Structure 1
Amino acid sequence: MSDDRLDAVLAYIDGELPESLSRLFALLGIESISTDPAHAGDVAAAADWLAADLSSIGFEASARETDGHPMVVAHDRSAAGCPHVLFYGHYDVQPVDPLSLWSRAPFAPAVIEEDGRKVIFGRGASDDKGQLMTFVEACRAWKTVTGSLPIRVSMMLEGEEESGSKSLEPFMKANRDELAADLAFICDTDMWDRETPAITTMLRGLVGEEIVVTAASRDLHSGMYGGAARNPIHVLVDILDGLRDETGRVTLPGFYDGVGELPAEIAEQWKALGFDEKAFLGAVGLSVPAGEVDRAVLEKIWARPTAEVNGITGGYTGDGFKTVIPAKASAKISFRLVDRQDPDAIRDAFRTYVRSKIPADCSVEFIPHGGSPGLRLSTDIPALKATRGALEAEWGRPCVFQGSGGSIPVAGSFREILGTDVLMVGFAQDDDRIHSPNEKYDLASFHGGIRSWARILGALAEKG
């Protein structure tokens, strides 16, 4: 790859930044709230805007109908015979409630000063319109300056990520051949800090389960039945208490099957990051780490599985006091999974454990709430090495291989449905206030993200 070509592309990106912002503002101004049926027309408008913008720079682009919101699919085949990447992003956004907490109108984007930095203000600025437009603008720069992209590029831009992605997997299965690529990119992740780029190589999966324990046929007076009638809250608490032992490990048989130790290179890199455990917990009013006693906090939230109780209901919870033994009690439990843990096996083990704790005169109902496996990428993937080098060239710092405590189910879908490895490269910051009022995206992240993608495309072409 000619350094002169890349230099020309980067110079174009720098000079075009005001126009790139104008295009982003046009997209941010569309109220594409996918969870609200009243905004279905706005979601469709955002899809049409993206399809038109991509078509304007030579992509074969269209907004495809699904059972839900449209899927934007685009292809550029100007670099025939070269490596082929599929880029994923989402153009839908979260609702803005409560509106009263916004300092400005959420769909009137602007660049403002905040804490001495310039930030792009508006719903979707970081999650995920600003992020996906960094890639689009990098493609625009390559095509404008050189007439073509250095590699083959396809895009799949979703309109339901914030509302469950119900149409995503059916669409991928129905269009498997068209979407096939050598590599997929997801741009919905963070940098390590404002100056340090990162590739997310680990994601935690998720198993959600709700249990309802039923004892008596109706609520009972605790004076008349207390001590004789089974209390389902007692049963439920006993079940939940037994999920962990005194060291913080989850007790379900086979729970740690498929959980590997960190590669030595990753473990050493994480130790060198200078992560402040006290500050991390102190920011939310805590000071003593929970969970597995022999693990560092960063490892716990990025690379270790968990069992958490997310909610409990049962009995009288209104104002005042009511002496009642409830007929039912329920809890919602989530398991975060890592590496090669099997979501179905975890769910089965949990249900077997719960049933073993149910007394003879009680019953239990299970309500599933989704499941997805964790993801751990090999750091030996050639494309990952090329991407890492491109990021380090742009930011002037070593690129961090980081984990994510959350889940991005589409990453698993790429592997399972398309058989494609996934690289997760993003330029968000942990204080971007995504899903919250006053969402923002650092202008430096947007600008640096465009330049980074331009370098990555060039590096992938060079490495083949």
Structure 2
Amino acid sequence: MALNDVLSRIDADLPAATDRLMELLRIPSISTDPAYKADCDKAADWLVADLNALGVKTEKRATPGHPMVVGHVDGDGPHLLFYGHYDVQPVDPLNLWTRDPFDPQIEDTPAGRVIRGRGASDDKGQLMTFVEACRAWKAVNGSLPCKITFFFEGEEESGSPSLVPFMTDNAEELGADIALICDTSMVARGVPSIASQLRGMLKDEFTIIGPRIDLHSGHYGGPGLNPLREIARIVASFHDEETGRVAVEGFYDGVHEVPADQLRQWQSCGFDEADYLNSVGYTQPHGEKDYSTLEQQWARPTLEINGLWGGYNGAGSKTVIPSEAHCKITCRLVGDMDPDDLRRKIRAHVEARLSPDAKVRWDNDLEGARASVMNIDRPEFEAARQALSDEWKREAVFCGMGGSIPIAGHFKSILGLDAMLIGYANEDDAIHSPNEKYDLQSFHKGIRSWARILDALTRA
């Protein structure tokens, strides 16, 4: 097999590949709205038919929600599990779109040609980069290069309620050597990236309770404990004002410093800190001192206040001391941080600071998930990084991600698989927003990249 023949086939077939993507994009597979249930089924059927046409034995598998698509092809060498999702976000507000979200078109923009339409970047365009690489490989060689399992879900944009039960029930069938996920962005335009660490998540919510009823502030202002003042004082104690560090005792247990080689890659990855900050109205970073913006975003834990409320919130004034005040928090976790242990520490921090006559009530129905840290010492990671570097003509980087992609953690906890997260989206793709797009270059070079990665992994 000559890799160059596969790449040439990809180049020649790009118009047909784009047409196939457009066909999939026309299906309004909005998973969160029951009105589109038939369309989600239609998108799953489309993928089943397309994979079967490639010689991949594929089925639509029922779940309590939208169906899974599972396909298998045998082969020698490594066993790869490729994951993507065919469902998309709602399109509201529709009036902000410049065209019908489900009538995709190629448009010329100052940054180049783009595919405009809902799902173009998240995740149909990305999903199809891998499928099209396999199509070209099959056309040139008559078969795919190794054993591959295709695993597509239809509920990613609505919380994946069927995912964990399905994976648990079908763990043996879904087993592989390594998982591939194409649902991420490049760290900067034209800079190929492999996400090697994802922050975990801890959610909690508490209520500070003071008097048994709302009180007249003229009668009790002064001697009365005000839960809003109490919660403001406690929330202020979460962080050290001088350093920006979280001041909860033991908060940083399990946090590791970034290795020097990874820091070097991050420093040269083309990330524009000023643009990142200025785009949302900041003039400087506001996290931990002595850590770069990328380190703060990818490799440092956080404790954020997501909601703080109580008392009267209507028009005008109401002179009350409220009986309760409420706070929602989330923590982004890194390294080996244990969400259950951290929850106990945060609650202990709050409870130790309660004034007399103040009580706290916790919400006990919120979840936590550990960070996902991939073993980049595995040879597959370096092989894929070199393949990406060859295609994009610049050094690919192992990067972090500030958010959480639950499927990567599920692959680890349920299937015991490391995952390589390799995507070709750009930060300006407007995913989840009006006028979503996917650069035509991302689609084209994404297909070529997967072909190179397949070649590299079969030789790793």
Q: TM class by shorter-chain length? A: over 0.9
Deviations 1:379-418 (A, max 9, x none): 3210001101111111111101111111101111111111
What does 1:65-464 correspond to in 2, within 5 Å?
Answer: 65-77=62-74, 79=75, 81-246=76-241, 247-367=243-363, 368-463=365-460
* 1:116 Cα deviation after fit: 4.4
State the match for 1:50 in structure 2.
Answer: 47
Q: Distance in 2 between matches of 1:350 and 1:265?
A: 33
Q: Give the SS at the match of 2:366.
A: strand
Separation in structure 1 between the aligned mates of residue 152 and residue 414 of structure 2, nearest angstrom: 17
Q: Which amino acid aligns with 1:36?
A: D
**CA apart distance, 1:147:** 1.1
- State the secondary structure of the residue aligned to 1:16: helix
User: Which residue identity is paired with 2:209?
Assistant: T
Aligned partner of residue 455 in structure 2, secondary structure: helix
**What do the CA deviations read for 1:82-105 (whole angstroms, capped 9, x no partner)?**
200101111111111111111111
**Which deviates the most, 181-190 or 141-150?**
141-150
The TM-score normalised by the length of structure 2 is: 0.97
CA contact (8 A) 1:391 1:455 kept: yes
One-letter code aligned to 2:197: M
Structure 1 residue identity aligned to 2:313: T
Deviation string 1:217-237 (CA, Å, 9 cap, x unpaired) is 222111111112221111211
Question: Can you list the C-alpha shifts for 1:4-46, whole angstroms capped at 9, x where unaligned?
Answer: 2x11211111111111111111111111111111111211211
Letter in 1 for 2:297: I
Aligned residues: 458
Mind listing any 5+ residue stretches in structure 1 that lack a counterpart?
Answer: none
Shift of 1:320: 1.5
CA distance in 1 between counterparts of 2:321 and 2:39 reads 49
Partner of 2:32: 35
AA aligned to 1:236 is: I
Residue identity matched to 1:216:
P
CA contact (8 A) 1:235 1:357 kept: no
- The one-letter code matched in structure 2 to 1:333 is I
Q: CA deviation at 1:198?
A: 0.8
Partner amino acid for 2:211?
A: A
Q: Residue 236 of structure 1 aligns to a residue in which SS? A: helix
- Which digits, 9 at most, give the CA deviation of each residue in 1:213-259, with x for residues without a partner? 22222221111111122211112112211111121111222211111
Amino acid at match of 1:131: Q
Q: Distance in 2 between matches of 1:363 and 1:44?
A: 50
Deviation, 1:369, is: 3.3
Query: What residue ranges of structure 2 are gaps of 5+ in the alignment?
Result: none
Q: Percent identity?
A: 54
C-alpha separation in 2, matches of 1:136 and 1:366: 47
Q: What's the offset of the Cα at 1:355?
A: 2.1
Q: What whole-Å deviation, never above 9, does each CA across 1:150-193 have from its counterpart, x for those lacking one?
A: 11110111111111111111111100100000000111111133
Shift of 1:274: 4.9
Q: CA deviation at 1:456?
A: 0.7
Paired residues of 2:375 and 2:418 also in contact (CA < 8 A): no
1:196 deviates by: 1.8
